[in-house]
Amino acid sequence: MRSEFDNELNKLTVDLTKMAHLVDSAIENMIDAFKHEDKRLAKEIMTNDRLINDMERTIESRSFNLILRQQPIASDLRKVTSALKIVTDLERIGDQAADIAEIILNMEETQSYKTVEHIPLMAKKTKLMVREAVDAFIKQDLQSVHMVKQMDDEIDALFEEVKTEVIEILKEENDKANACIDFLMIAKYLEKVGDHAVNIGEWIEFNQTGKVNKHRLI
């Protein structure tokens, strides 16, 4: 029974999974572009962000129409509403990857990836976090959600380290001022990616339990 509804719910999950993979690739490509100063790849990330944005609209539209036509309740309602929330955070992660790619595209500084010692570590951890959040979504795994939250604490700490380093570089090397601003922006964007990955985890928790951080929402 309700085969049309089940088909639509399935399409919603398929679309969201596809979007999650696109976002995961965007982050991975962004780190590669940064590491290898690959401006062509940076441009590609910026262009592909449009695909991620289009998917957001598709998923939103599918969710609204499901609510209109099918009046979902119980687990169906949690699935549709959490999809609406997750799609926003995924799109923002895509934006952050594109914003970092734009900085890389316009960066004059060479060998920049390792200039700030903590940035490569922060980038790696962010990539892992996004991968973990996407996996948590696909498997609906609350353990992974918990790990994502723990990794965010590490990302936040690394951001503070980056800030301290950048301030030191600014004080000692005046000619690196422009690059320092870029580094700080990149680190801030990475930190925001971490926050959005945590949000995704929270909506996975909601889908399973109806609660976010022990607050009952439904």
Partner 1 sequence: MENKIEAKNLNLWYGEKHALKDVNLNIVKNKITAFIGPSGCGKSTFLKTLNRMQDYVKGVKITGDLTIDNENILDKRVDTTILRKKVGMVFQQPNPFAMSIYDNVAYGPRIHGIKNKKQLDEIVERSLKQAALYDEVADRLYTSALGLSGGQQQRLCIARCLAVEPEVILLDEPTSALDPISTLKIEELLMELKDKYTIAIVTHNMQQATRIADYTAFFLVGEMVEYGATRDLFSMPKDKRTEDYITGRFG
Binding site residues, partner 1, CB under 8 A: 1-2, 5, 71-78, 209-210, 218
Residue nearer to partner 1 on the CB measure, 77 or 138:
77
Residue nearer to partner 1 on the CB measure, 72 or 94:
72
DSSP conformation class of 107: -
Under 8 Å between Cβ of 196 and 74:
no
For 214, other C-beta atoms within 10 Å of its C-beta total 7
Least Å from the CB of residue 158 to partner 1: 37
- Residues 59, 45: Cα–Cα separation, whole Å: 21
- Return the closest-CA partner of residue 28 out of 130, 179, 175: 130
Least Å from the CB of residue 67 to partner 1: 13
Residue nearer to partner 1 on the CB measure, 5 or 138:
5
- Return the closest-CA partner of residue 101 out of 160, 154, 58, 40: 40
Residue nearer to partner 1 on the CB measure, 65 or 164:
65
For 135, other C-beta atoms within 10 Å of its C-beta total 15
Least Å from the CB of residue 32 to partner 1: 43
Structure tokens at 172: 């000692």
Least Å from the CB of residue 74 to partner 1: 5
